[in-house]
Amino acid sequence: MTKPSWLDQRYERTFFDSQTLFYDDVIRLRGKEWLNDSIINYYLLYLENVKYEQQKDDLLFLSPSVTFWIMQVKEKEDVADAINPLNPTQKDLIFIPINDNSDETGEVSGGSHWSLVVYNRKEDTFNYYDSSGDYNYGSAVKTVAKIAHFLNPKYDYGTMSIKINKISCSQQQNGYDCGVYLLSFCDVLGNAEHVKNVSPRDINCLREDILKKIQQGVGAT
């Protein structure tokens, strides 16, 4: 893992008025490191506010911290407070990052895998995209059970029986790139492209591309 010359241990910069990145967040983009919630959130903010700014009224990218919070709170009102301010019922495509840390056992861990659920309002479908088989499917079911009602009131709050389609998508060939696949899937789906066409090369490029955006201060405030 080589360190870019512009990145030092004291690096700290805030983006989109809401996400501060530190050295140990950014360095994860170099080489074979797992991505964390801060980097995921940075890129989702970039997609929402820069790349797909024209479609801002239609697309909603939930922050990993929002999904994490939703999984931690017990009361329906608390979930509503977290998600309703984002106007989810107004959006056509809602991107929901899934992490497998949200166990109800009370055991808090940082998680080991990222994947994606997308709600498509026009088709009224929940689609599941996982670069590693269906590793996070159980977490996805639990997350959707808590969120679906606030995306479309026809779904009852807390129901675990909502149909979630497993979509065939590109698979990671290693044990560290799932976060990058999650971001890549969000990117291509925002463009209505196909998730099967994401190649390992695209994934490496995306790592470098995100790093470059951070270096250039895209979205810095």
Partner 1 sequence: MADQEQPTKNEGGETGGEQSDNHLNIKVNYEGNEVFFKIKKTTPLKKLMEIFCKRQGVNQDQMRFVFDGNRLTGTETAEQLDMDDQDTIDVLVQQTGGF
Residues 27-56 binding partner 1 (CB under 8 A) are: 33-38
Determine which residue in the list 49, 55, 101, 152 makes contact with partner 1, applying CB under 8 A.
Answer: 101
Which residues lie closer than 8 Å to 119 by C-beta, 6 or more apart?
A: 93, 94, 96, 125, 126, 148, 151, 152
Size of the site for partner 1 (CB under 8 A): 32
Q: What are phi and psi of 108, to 5 degrees?
A: -90, 125
Nearer to partner 1, 108 or 160 (CB): 108
Distance of CA 199 to the CA centre of its chain: 19
Nearer to partner 1, 64 or 190 (CB): 64
- Which span (76-84, 88-96, 105-113, 199-207) binds partner 1, by CB under 8 A? 105-113
Q: In the bound complex, what is the minimum distance in angstroms from residue 152's beta carbon to partner 1?
A: 26
Calpha distance 37→155 (Å, rounded): 28
What tokens appear for 2 in the block?
């080589």
Nearer to partner 1, 16 or 34 (CB): 34
What tokens appear for 134 in the block?
């269906």
Asked if 23 touches partner 1 (CB under 8 A), the answer is yes
For residues 13 and 42, is the Cβ–Cβ distance under 8 A?
no
Calpha distance 177→114 (Å, rounded): 9
Nearer to partner 1, 110 or 158 (CB): 110
- Which span (43-51, 112-120, 152-160, 207-215) binds partner 1, by CB under 8 A? 112-120
For residues 37 and 65, is the Cβ–Cβ distance under 8 A?
yes
Asked if 22 touches partner 1 (CB under 8 A), the answer is yes
CA distances from 123 to 119, 170, 179 (A): 9, 23, 26
Determine which residue in the list 6, 18, 24, 156 makes contact with partner 1, applying CB under 8 A.
Answer: 24
Sheet holding 125-129, edge to edge: 59-61, 93-99, 114-120, 125-129, 164-166
User: Which helix H or strand E contains 125, and what residues bound it?
Assistant: strand 125-129
User: Which helix H or strand E contains 195, and what residues bound it?
Assistant: none
Nearer to partner 1, 89 or 109 (CB): 109
- Which span (8-16, 150-158, 184-192, 201-209) binds partner 1, by CB under 8 A? 8-16
Q: In the bound complex, what is the minimum distance in angstroms from residue 159's beta carbon to partner 1?
A: 25
Nearer to partner 1, 167 or 203 (CB): 203
Q: Binding residues for partner 1, per CB under 8 A?
A: 9-10, 12, 20, 22-24, 33-38, 64, 68, 99-101, 108-114, 132, 135, 175-179
